[in-house]
């Protein structure tokens, strides 16, 4: 803790120690479960059922991941997920930022009404059935665009970005207008470059949401070729659970049949978690420096 620690009063020392202990406990509560998932994912499922595996595999094996990547259309599912994540995130962030820039203007006619209208959508929803009927009526079901278009705007993200934009000093816009800039050039040349922290945060939120979303592919898409990775893996886990129950009932006391099953539903689940989480873990360090700043500034108003 350094020499500064010994110069603190007794109460300050206690506070600092307790604070560090709580932070360490929080970090361990996040890291240790992930290490357990890692260990179970790289350990044969049948061996893992014996127990005793916590943070390191007892027997290294890639059989669980082999089972995951054996799924039909796994490559196409990856491509669908990458497409919806990249295109959906880019389009959503850009359009939401444009809407936020318009709403933050004090000269926008009906600005308060539109802000309240956006906020209203955060409180009430039409429900799944009306939502499905709407998607079907505009011919989005069973198309790749059902992953992108309905999620272009988020009321929560719009409010965060608008609040961030309000922190940018208006003199910058006034100077740009004197130089002949119109609203779009001000938005592109001044507002967006100054808003990298909040843009990075909202981009991360959108990307994680798109990458992890299995519900849309399961309920609004019937074509197997258009299923994203999360939906495909979720269906695989459901099938594995059903197969396990069927085999247990059919095998009875036939232990030889049970012993031949090395990939269990639980080990498959752990491997699936690793496959889904890894891309986000790789991307996060590149936006981590913006994360705290974007959240704090975007949630405060002077």
The answer as to whether 88 is a domain residue is: yes
Report whether 276 contacts 211 (CB < 8 A): yes
pLDDT at 261 over 60: no
pLDDT at 298 over 60: no
Report whether 85 contacts 148 (CB < 8 A): no
203 contact partners, CB below 8 Å, separation of at least 6? 89, 93, 287
The answer as to whether 2 is a domain residue is: no
Q: 276 pLDDT band (50/70/90 cuts)? A: confident
pLDDT at 222: 87
pLDDT at 3: 65
The answer as to whether 50 is a domain residue is: no
The answer as to whether 207 is a domain residue is: yes
Q: 245 pLDDT band (50/70/90 cuts)? A: low
Structural domain boundaries, residue 198: 66-298
Q: 291 pLDDT band (50/70/90 cuts)? A: low
pLDDT (tens digit per residue) in 213-231: 888 888 898 888 888 888 8
The answer as to whether 149 is a domain residue is: yes
The answer as to whether 81 is a domain residue is: yes
The answer as to whether 236 is a domain residue is: yes
The answer as to whether 22 is a domain residue is: no
Buried b (16+ CB within 10 A) or exposed e, 162-173: bbbbbeeeeeeb
Give the highest mean pLDDT range of 82-91, 104-113, 216-225, 251-260: 82-91
User: What CATH number is attached to the domain comprising 266?
Assistant: 1.10.3720.10
* pTM assigned to the model: 0.74
**300 conformational bin, left if phi > 0, alpha if psi -120 to 50, beta if neither:** beta
pLDDT at 299: 45
Total domains present in the chain: 1
């Amino acid at each position: 803790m350094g020499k500064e620690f010994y110069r603190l009063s007794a109460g300050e020392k206690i506070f600092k120690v307790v604070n560090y202990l709580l932070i360490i406990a929080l970090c361990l509560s996040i890291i240790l479960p992930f290490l357990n998932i890692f260990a179970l994912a790289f350990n044969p499922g049948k061996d893992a059922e014996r127990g005793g595996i916590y943070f390191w595999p007892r027997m290294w094996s890639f059989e669980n991941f082999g089972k995951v990547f054996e799924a039909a259309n796994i490559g196409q599912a990856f491509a669908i997920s990458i497409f919806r994540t990249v295109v959906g995130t880019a389009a959503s962030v850009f359009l939401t930022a444009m809407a936020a820039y318009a709403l933050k203007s004090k000269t926008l006619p009906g600005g308060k009404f539109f802000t309240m209208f956006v906020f209203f959508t955060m409180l009430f929803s039409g429900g799944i059935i009306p939502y499905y009927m709407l998607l079907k009526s505009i011919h989005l079901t069973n198309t790749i665009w059902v992953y992108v278009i309905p999620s272009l705007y988020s009321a929560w993200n719009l409010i965060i970005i608008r609040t961030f934009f309000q922190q940018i000093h208006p003199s910058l816009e006034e100077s740009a207008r004197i130089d002949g800039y119109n609203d779009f050039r001000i938005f592109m040349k001044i507002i967006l470059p100054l808003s990298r922290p909040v843009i990075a945060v909202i981009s991360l939120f959108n990307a994680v949401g798109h990458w992890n979303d299995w519900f849309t592919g399961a309920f609004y898409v019937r074509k197997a070729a258009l299923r994203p990775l999360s939906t495909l893996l979720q269906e695989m886990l459901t099938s594995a659970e059903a197969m396990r129950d069927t085999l247990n009932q059919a095998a009875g006391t036939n232990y030889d049949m049970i012993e031949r099953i090395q990939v269990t539903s639980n080990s498959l689940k752990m491997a699936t978690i690793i496959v889904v989480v890894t891309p986000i873990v790789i991307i996060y360090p590149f936006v981590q420096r913006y994360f705290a700043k974007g959240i704090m500034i975007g949630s405060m108003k002077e």
